[in-house]
């Protein structure tokens, strides 16, 4: 049975322990984000990241063509290459694939993305973002079956061949559904879903499936996307989703055993 592990790309994530723990595991798919690297590269290229909040309170990265170019360079370039090289240093052959390769992540482009600007809802022109609707799970199974570790990240591709940015947590949920994963582990820079963001000991250890909706107000900003991803994965038949820290020794094993927030 396959485990899908998503490692966060925001500051404070620890990638090295995740790679060390993943390298000896036969049946895993790694999904990655890389927001800190997108921010860093964007700044270096004179295209600093912009974020917006949707009317429903979800924070997203602005993905007009100039920003999307940075996303592609950072995620399908720098971040993915570093993860594949890191796994190689741990003796594991990995294959980096963006969602465009082999139609891996098929997305529907968001029509008329909306943002709240100074209290008013405005339509974002030129937005190249989308949501993953299907995943080429056969290609992933083929690679896993050949002993390779797929390393997957945004961007994704639409039916019309447009390259769009997608949320990595929600992409990971769709990957987990497609490979019929036994668990989806969302490893991040916090110990789990916190009741109080200022108190790292306030981790909610378990959220029954029926209560995901009720816990949404606890999560601000991008943590909301992890809960939405968890809900999507459960609805798609993944039995267990864990939000857990990427730091410390053996983070994959610890999350698999239920450290952090288990949603099932």
Which stretches of the chain bind ligand ADP, using CB under 6 A? 8-10, 13, 33, 35, 188-190, 193-194, 197, 218-223
Taking alpha carbons only, the member of 151, 140, 177 closest to residue 76 is 151
As separate numbers, helices (DSSP H) first and strands (DSSP E) second, the chain gives 9, 16
If one counts every other C-beta atom within 10 angstroms of the C-beta of residue 51, the result is 13
Given the complex with ligand ADP, which of 67 and 222 has the nearer CB atom? 222
By beta-carbon proximity to ligand ADP, the closer residue of 81 and 220 is 220
- Answer left, alpha or beta for residue 115, where phi above 0 means left and psi between -120 and 50 means alpha: beta
* Residues β-bridged to residue 41: none
CB of 222 to ligand ADP, least distance (A): 3
Cβ at position 194, least distance to ligand ADP in Å:
4
Choice between 53 and 189, CB closer to ligand ADP = 189
Question: Cβ neighbours of residue 225 under 8 Å, at least 6 residues apart?
Answer: 58, 167, 169, 170
Per DSSP, helices labelled H in 48-180 are 65-71, 80-89, 137-145, 168-178
Min dist CB 51 to ligand ADP, Å, is 11
* Least distance to ligand ADP, CB of residue 6, Å: 7
**Nearer to ligand ADP by C-beta: 144 or 216?**
216
CA dihedral 150, 155, 159, 160 (to 10 degrees): -140
Of 208 and 221, which has the nearer Cβ to ligand ADP? Answer: 221
Strand ranges for 94-155 from DSSP E:
94-98, 105-109, 114-117, 120-123, 130-135, 149-153
Q: How far is the CB of 160 from ligand ADP (least distance, A)?
A: 28
For residue 170, what are the CA distances in angstroms to 26, 40, 199?
Answer: 24, 23, 26
Output 57 or 237, the one with its CB closest to ligand ADP: 57
Query: Smallest distance, Å, CB 60 to ligand ADP?
Result: 11
Bond into 155 cis (ω within 30): yes
> Which residue has its beta carbon closest to ligand ADP?
8
Q: CB-wise, 36 or 148, nearer to ligand ADP?
A: 36
Output the smallest distance, CB 66 to ligand ADP, in A. Answer: 22
């Amino acid at each position: 049975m396959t485990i899908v592990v998503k490692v966060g790309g925001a500051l404070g994530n620890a990638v090295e322990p995740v790679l060390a723990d993943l390298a000896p595991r036969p049946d895993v798919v790694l999904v990655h984000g890389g927001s800190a690297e997108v921010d860093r590269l964007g700044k270096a290229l004179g295209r600093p990241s912009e974020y917006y909040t949707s009317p429903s309170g979800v924070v997203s990265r602005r993905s007009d063509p100039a920003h999307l170019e940075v996303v592609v360079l950072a995620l399908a370039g720098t971040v993915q290459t570093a993860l594949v090289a890191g796994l190689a240093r741990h003796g594991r052959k990995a294959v980096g694939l963006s969602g465009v390769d082999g139609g891996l992540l098929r997305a529907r482009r968001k029509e008329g993305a909306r943002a709240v600007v100074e209290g008013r809802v405005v339509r974002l022109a030129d937005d190249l973002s989308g949501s993953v609707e299907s995943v080429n799970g056969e290609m992933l199974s083929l690679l896993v079956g050949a002993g390779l570790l797929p390393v997957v990240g945004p961007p994704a591709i639409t039916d019309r061949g447009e390259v769009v940015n997608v949320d990595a947590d929600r992409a990971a949920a769709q990957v987990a559904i497609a490979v019929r994963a036994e668990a989806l582990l969302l490893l991040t820079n916090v110990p789990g879903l916190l009741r109080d963001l200022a108190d790292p000991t306030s981790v909610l250890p378990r959220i029954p499936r029926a209560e995901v909706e009720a816990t949404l107000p606890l999560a601000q900003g991008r943590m909301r996307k992890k809960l939405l991803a968890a809900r999507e994965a459960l609805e798609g038949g993944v039995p267990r989703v864990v939000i857990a820290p990427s730091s410390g020794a053996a983070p994959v094993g610890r999350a698999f055993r239920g450290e952090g927030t288990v949603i099932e």
